[in-house]
Structure 1
Amino acid sequence: MIRFAAASALALLTLSACDSPEEPAAPATPPRTADAAPAPTAPPVADNVLTAQGLGPARIGMTVADLTAVWGADANPGAVGGADPETCDQYHPANAPAGVTVMTQNGVLTRITLMRDAAIRTDRGFGLGDTALAVKEAYGGAIVAQPHKYEAAPAEDLFAWSSGGSTAYVTDPAARGVRYEVGSDGKVKMIHAGDPSIQLVEGCA
């Protein structure tokens, strides 16, 4: 009788164990992978820094209408910036920084120039009054030096092309660069940035 009772109890325990729900399996842990490195991004350029692409909201290649929208119209419309302004014109927009002039050709902004009292500097940190030697040392082999057309050495033109440049005359309209115009005292007296029009010594003349 005792054996029968023990056997029955064991059977009940076995049945009870079979009927109890199974505990849910722990979710599989996905294999750990290395975190993807963020894509490098170019540091933003301040609005008061001149680059081969432009200055602040004024961008090389934009239309005259767009340029007028961001910098205003010619501050001195009576002045003659070119023999045929529709083809080529040079002027200081009313709302542009002091000492900044623009060149427009066939309705498009092609060049921005720093002159006279301009306090703007390039993305390499250079402005009017800096020495040609300092510019050459900073750019190294990226500088293309050419004799100045009207002044004796040490006057010269220093070209730093960021795209599409060469040691010969550049004609590719997509080319972009900066030209440091150095005077006879060996210091930068003007800076031009933009497309191949930065090579024009007489401007629109």
Structure 2
Amino acid sequence: MIRRILLTAAVLSVAACNAPEDAAAPPESAPAPAPEAPAPVAGDVLTANGFGPLRIGMSTAEIEAALGPDSNPGAVGGPDPDSCDTFHPTRAPDGLMVMTNNGVLASVWLTRDATTPTDRGFRIGDEAAAVKAAYGAAAVVVPHKYEAAPAEYITVWATADHTGPAARGIKYEIGGDGRVQAIAGGGPSIEYVEGCA
């Protein structure tokens, strides 16, 4: 008889363990979804650090290995090409120029024929108002040196230092129509108004 009582108690215990949850009990909450990771930046966009395989600080030889030599070696990229030069590498997208200072990549420039975007998705022809809205208080706006407003320069620094070798930023040159007409990404040379001149 004691065996029967013990066996019955064991069966009831197992049944209780496998019984469905009480309907009045609150359901377990689902785990919170993981925060969305930022979308990866494509390699062929202009950033404060360069473009695609180009990184600020590379030597001219490294630029040429990555995107080819100057597509127009007879053109003068500056009054003293050894100290400052600008050129379009043969395998670079249309409208993309590189600037070297003393044989080192200082900045990458997008000119009027460029369709390459920045890491924020801006391109030549976009409205200045959209650029300012995207960057907010980080955007430093100054008047254009040669054109009347709404022409201006919008510069966004990625580093606290704006003048040293580690400085990195992007500058949007806005034309008299209020649209982006050139973009530069890189070190302090992005603030040059007349290229190497």
Q: Would the TM-score normalized by the shorter structure come out above 0.5?
A: yes
The Cα shift of 1:43 comes to 5.1
The Cα shift of 1:154 comes to 0.3
Partner of 1:190: 182
The SS at the match of 2:158 is: strand
Structure 1 segments (4+ residues) deviating >6 Å: none
Could you report, residue by residue, the CA deviation over 1:78-135 in whole angstroms, capped at 9, with x for unpaired residues?
0000111110001101111111001001110011001122111011110000011000
Could you report, residue by residue, the CA deviation over 1:141-180 in whole angstroms, capped at 9, with x for unpaired residues?
0100000000000000000111135xxxx32121100000
Partner of 1:111: 107
Unmatched 5+ residue regions in structure 1?
1-37
Q: Is the 8 A contact 1:51 1:193 kept in 2?
A: yes
1:150 aligned partner, one-letter code? Y
Could you report, residue by residue, the CA deviation over 1:27-71 in whole angstroms, capped at 9, with x for unpaired residues?
xxxxxxxxxxx9x98754212211000110011111111111001
Q: TM-score, normalised by structure 1?
A: 0.76
Partner of 1:95: 91
Is 2:77 aligned against 1:81?
yes
1:85 aligned partner, one-letter code? P
Structure possessing the higher radius of gyration over alpha carbons: 1
Q: Give the 3 Å change call, closer, same or farther, for CA 41–105 of structure 1 in structure 2.
A: farther
Partner of 1:22: none
Partner of 2:150: 154
Question: What percent of counterpart residues are identical?
Answer: 58
Q: Is the 8 A contact 1:48 1:56 kept in 2?
A: yes
Q: Give the 3 Å change call, closer, same or farther, for CA 70–41 of structure 1 in structure 2.
A: farther
Unmatched 5+ residue regions in structure 2?
1-33
The SS at the match of 1:163 is: coil
Distance 1:41 1:139 in 2: 20
Is 2:127 aligned against 1:131?
yes
Distance 2:123 2:56 in 1: 19
Distance 1:196 1:100 in 2: 18
Distance 1:72 1:202 in 2: 25
Distance 1:159 1:172 in 2: 16
Distance 1:70 1:143 in 2: 31
